[in-house]
């Protein structure tokens, strides 16, 4: 898999390159600011881009804005945003149009090497990976919508779905059986009035519904 990196900290950029290359990824380009990222993606057409949120020149949300441009202009390139803090607003921006091929994680997660690489592979393959911190922020901001009808357990399952986990992953995280997870998910679909469709698409819709609560 080919990954382009945009990270302004030289130390971390080198660390990421080392981590990815020792794990069998290919890193055709690694840049230090947002404009360079767009050029590198245009040139190398990677499977995914790892993008730092705070980059020069303003050191605020350059990475988020660059990611939005990437998703518009290169829809086939997945984006994994990394940041020292996660903000639900940035997540909402990022997920506004669609929830596939996108991730938003705390930089700390890089320390859990295999977990991080799993998330990266998932995102590069078109899935999602949201940091549990973002998910809890998102949950906090929506308390007046159909999500109210969910039981605490179903909310937990839904937030794990939003993180991008499979049924098996959710079952492992909650220490329950996969069939119990499937039951919870069916309840969630029912309570959120989601139309019948193939499994994965409904999952995405559920997550979208979950994220959309913000805009109502």
Partner 1 sequence: MVSSSTARRAVTHAPWSQVTWRNTVFVASGVPLQLAGWAVVALPWVVWSPSDVMLILLWLALPVVAIAVLASPLASAHRERCWAVLGVDVPPLPRDENASPWDVLRDLRSPELWRLIRYHLVVGPLIALAGLTTVAAWLGGLVLTTVGAYAWALPADSPLSLTGHAIRVGALTACGVVVLFVTPYLAAGVARWDVATVRSLLGPDVTKELRKRVEDLAEKRADVVDAADLERRRIERDLHDGVQQRLVSLAMNLGLARETLRDLPPEALQVIVEAHEESKEILTDLRNFIRGLHPAVLEDRGLDAALSGIAARVPLPVRLEVDVARRASSTVEAVAYFVVSEALTNVVKHAGATSVDVAVLRRGDVLHVTITDDGKGGASFEAGTGLRGLARRVNSVDGTFRITSPEGGPTTITVELPCAL
**Contacts of partner 1 in 81-110 (CB under 8 A):** 84-90, 106-108, 110
Instruction: List, as one string, the DSSP characters of 100-125.
Output: TTEEEEEGGGGGSHHHHHHHHHHHHT
Q: 111 or 175: whose CB is closer to partner 1?
A: 111
Q: 141 or 149: whose CB is closer to partner 1?
A: 141
141 binds partner 1 (CB under 8 A): yes
11 binds partner 1 (CB under 8 A): yes
> Is 41 in contact with 70 (CB distance < 8 Å)?
yes
177 binds partner 1 (CB under 8 A): no
Write down the least CB distance from residue 33 to partner 1, Å: 14
Write down the least CB distance from residue 54 to partner 1, Å: 6
Tokens coding 93: 């921006």
Write down the least CB distance from residue 84 to partner 1, Å: 6
Going through 107-163 in order, the beta strands assigned E by DSSP cover 128-130
> Is 46 in contact with 2 (CB distance < 8 Å)?
yes
Write down the least CB distance from residue 171 to partner 1, Å: 23
- 3-state secondary structure string across 157-207: HHHHHHHCCCHHHHHHHHCCCHHHHHHHHHHHHHHCCCCCCCHHHHHHHHH
**Contacts of partner 1 in 111-130 (CB under 8 A):** 111-114
- Reply yes or no: is the peptide bond before residue 150 cis, omega within 30 of 0: no
Write down the least CB distance from residue 177 to partner 1, Å: 28
Tokens coding 167: 């049924």
Using CB under 8 A, list all residues that contact partner 1: 9, 11-12, 15-16, 18-19, 22, 54, 59-61, 84-90, 106-108, 110-114, 133, 136-137, 139-141, 143
């Amino acid at each position: 898999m080919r990954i382009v990196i945009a990270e302004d900290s030289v130390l971390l950029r080198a660390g990421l390159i080392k981590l990815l290359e020792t794990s069998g990824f290919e890193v055709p380009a690694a840049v230090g600011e947002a404009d360079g990222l767009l050029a590198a993606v245009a040139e190398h057409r990677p499977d995914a881009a790892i993008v730092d949120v705070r980059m020069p020149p303003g050191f605020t949300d350059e990475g988020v804005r660059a990611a939005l441009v990437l998703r518009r202009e290169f829809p086939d390139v997945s984006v994994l945003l990394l940041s020292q803090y996660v903000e639900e607003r940035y997540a909402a921006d990022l997920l506004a149009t669609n929830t596939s091929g996108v991730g938003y994680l705390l930089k700390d997660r890089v320390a859990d090497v295999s977990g991080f690489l799993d998330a990266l592979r998932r995102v590069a393959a078109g899935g999602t990976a949201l940091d549990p911190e973002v998910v809890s922020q998102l949950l906090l901001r929506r308390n007046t919508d159909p999500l109210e009808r969910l039981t605490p357990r179903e909310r937990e399952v839904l937030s794990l779905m939003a993180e991008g986990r499979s049924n098996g992953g959710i079952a492992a995280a909650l220490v329950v059986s996969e069939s119990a997870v499937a039951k919870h998910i069916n309840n969630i679909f029912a309570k959120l009035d989601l139309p019948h469709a193939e499994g994965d698409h409904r999952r995405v819709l559920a997550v979208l519904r979950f994220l959309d609560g913000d805009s109502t």
